[in-house]
Chains A and B, each alone.
Chain A
């Protein structure tokens, strides 16, 4: 956990509602795959938690969907904007436990953190497959980024306008040694019903502080109450009480 200032270098729209920010940091930072940042925005009381999409040692990439006042403000921020930020928050994907051949499953804005995870696995010499789900052709984003990393990428759209028609659960490979997923809770639950494979899942919850102080985002688990912002957002499937 670290407090710093992030400086906006560039921003672009990836779809009609999804944006990509590239930022540098005032101080050296070292976010891990699955962690998030919590941005303070002018005029809004609570920070906005955004998952880390990628980090190359210098530039931090955030990909977010514009859903409300805070994210609408972010879309309008000019290059050079400075954000008071808490970085390297939460417990991300446990890379050591992910074997060769893992399947990364993402839905919508659950996809961004899987980019950094895919890069980390790739650099560790572990192959993986990405299964990415969207509503429709015009909602597709970041698919090219996985392809550039040389990762076998399967696209799924609900209306069949691009890739396979249906949900991510309709496009899973036959062999699934391990699952890493991020997306809406309905998707994650459906995914677990489809496969008994070991899995790490990134969850979402409305947060107060984002660093474990307020207990706002707690989740009941087999190990007792756990904070999505602190012990999560990534949890191994065996601790979840979703059965």
Chain B
């Protein structure tokens, strides 16, 4: 059974990458298991300055999923480099994916420049799709022109592969993905969360203090799969698929739809062992469906 895949020139032992915002800076999960079994990990979205994020409550339950309105809580890029990444280095010995975010082109550039200096960072995953912040985040990912401008700006300041993380909250995700590819992206990852809300019937007010939040979990899996399928058909750069993935079978579906690697998000929050379980289940699931090499099935659903 061959589980290894290649993502923008870097080989992963397996395609499983915990998604940003569901895995902290990695070391928290090494209390549960040896995280070196992961393909890689995408750490918590990092901005130039420390951010607390939105006021609480910022979690709400939904059918087969959850909403979050955390809003990019992080200690800021300097503390990430001086405190978080050294701790991660103690327990993870593979290239990591740096997830970066910003409220201006200058901020994306600044964070990308600083993180590009860190040797263990393999890829920059540029979040232009956070639905929980105002005046940044998703607004860069909702128009092809804005997405292209962020891609170009980051591309110019780093030699590391640039993966643009796309929002599903758009009319035409393929147009945004194409714009990123044309602007020099090495890959795209999708989907970030879908905007939603819940009401508390007792108070007749939104559960989330921020009113809206991002929906994740198995509820979004079919939407994510459809978007990965459409984007991978239109692009020639690698696609990282995510959105509601919670089993080895989900991983196979994502890869057949065109994902070169698969991020697992929400599943980590309800089961700290989710990624471990998925990786351990993969060989058996591959065998059940007559697959001997994962890299060979990427995009298989597109073939006639």
Q: Are A214 and B32 in contact (CB under 8 A)?
A: no
Within 8 A of A (CB), among B58-88: 58-66, 68, 70, 73, 75
CB pair B273–A206 under 8 Å, yes or no, is no
Given contacts A206-B59, A208-B59, contact A215 B269 (CB under 8 A): no
Minimum CB distance partner of A67 in chain B: B202
Asked whether B58 lies within 8 Å of A45 as measured between CB atoms, the reply is no
Cβ contacts under 8 Å, A215 to chain B: 21, 24, 44, 53, 70, 73
Which chain B residues lie closer than 8 Å to A224 at the CB level? Answer: 50, 75
Asked whether, in the complex, the Cβ of B64 is within 8 Å of the Cβ of A208, the reply is: no
Q: Does B221 contact A (CB under 8 A)?
A: no
Contact A220 B52 (CB under 8 A): yes
Taken residue by residue from 187 to 225, chain A's Cβ proximity to chain B (1 for < 8 Å, 0 otherwise) reads as 000000000000000000111110111111111100011
Does any Cβ of A come within 8 Å of B136's Cβ? no
Q: A207 to chain B: which residues have CB within 8 Å?
A: 59
Give 1 or 0 for each of B260-282: 1 = CB within 8 Å of chain A CB.
00000000111111000000000
- 8 Å CB contact of A225 from B52, B58, B62, B269: B52
Q: Is A46 an interface residue (CB 8 A)?
A: yes
- Interface residue total, chain B, C-beta cutoff 8 A: 35
Of B50, B64, B271, chain A has the most CB atoms within 10 Å of the CB of B271
Closest to B74 in A: A215
> Counting chain B CB atoms within 10 Å of each CB, which of A216, A219, A224 scores highest?
A216
> What is the interface of chain B mostly: helix, strand, loop, or mixed?
loop
Whether a CB of chain A sits under 8 angstroms from the CB of B23 is yes
A213 touches B52 (CB 8 A): no
- Residues facing A in B98-116 (CB within 8 A) are none
Distance of A36 Cα from B170 Cα, bound (Å) = 40
Contact with B along A219-241 (1 / 0, CB 8 A): 11000110000100000000000
In the complex, the answer to whether A45 meets B270 with C-beta atoms within 8 Å is: yes
A220 to B55, CA, bound (A): 10
A219 vs B53: C-alpha distance when bound (angstroms): 10
A118 in the interface (beta carbon within 8 A): no
Also in contact, A213 and B29, with CB within 8 A (given A206-B56, A220-B52): yes
B169 part of interface (Cβ distance < 8 Å)? no
Q: Which of A44, A205, A214 contacts B61 (CB 8 A)?
A: A44
Contacts A208-B68, A214-B21 given; indicate if A3 touches B59 (C-beta within 8 A): no
The reply to whether A216 and B68 form a contact with Cβ atoms under 8 Å apart is yes
Question: Knowing A45-B61, A46-B66, A213-B23 touch, does A3 contact B217 (C-beta < 8 A)?
Answer: no
In the complex, which residues of chain B have a beta carbon less than 8 angstroms from the beta carbon of A209? 268-270, 272
Interchain CB contact under 8 A, B70 and A214: yes
CB distance from B56 to the nearest CB of A (A): 6
Q: Report B81 CB to chain A, min CB distance, Å.
A: 17
Interface string of A1-21 (1 = CB under 8 A from B): 101000000000000000000
Query: Does chain B have a CB within 8 A of A47?
Result: yes
Q: Does B293 contact A (CB under 8 A)?
A: no
Nearest Cβ on chain A to B165's Cβ, whole angstroms: 18
Shortest CB-to-CB span from A137 to chain B, Å, is 25
Task: Tell yes or no: A171 within 8 A of B by CB.
Answer: no
Bound complex: CA of A224 vs CA of B217, how far in Å?
29
**Does B28 interact with chain A (Cβ within 8 Å)?**
yes
Quick one: which of B22, B31, B73, B270 contacts A40, CB cutoff 8 A? B270
Contacting residues of chain B (14-70) with chain A, CB-CB under 8 angstroms:
21-24, 28-29, 31-32, 44, 50, 52-53, 56-66, 68, 70
CA distance A209 to B272 in the complex (A): 9
Interface assignment of A180: CB less than 8 Å from any CB of chain B: no
Name, among A3, A40, A225, the residue most crowded by chain B CB atoms within 10 Å (CB to CB): A225
Q: Which residues of A contact B270 (CB under 8 A)?
A: 40, 45-47, 209
Bound state CA distance, A224 and B51, in angstroms?
10
Residue of B with least CB distance to A210: B269
Are A45 and B31 in contact, CB atoms less than 8 angstroms apart?
no
Between A and B, 11 residue pairs with Cβ closer than 8 Å are A3-B271, A45-B66, A46-B66, A47-B270, A205-B56, A206-B58, A215-B24, A217-B56, A218-B53, A224-B75, A225-B52
Contacts A46-B59, A209-B268, A216-B56 aside, 12 further interface pairs with beta carbons under 8 A come to A44-B61, A206-B58, A206-B59, A208-B59, A208-B66, A209-B270, A213-B268, A214-B22, A215-B21, A216-B59, A218-B73, A225-B53
Residues of B within 8 A of A (CB): 21-24, 28-29, 31-32, 44, 50, 52-53, 56-66, 68, 70, 73, 75, 207, 217, 268-273
A residues contacting B by CB (< 8 A) are 1, 3, 40, 44-47, 86, 205-209, 211-220, 224-225, 230
3 nearest A-B pairs in the assembled complex, by CB-CB distance = A216-B59, A209-B269, A206-B57
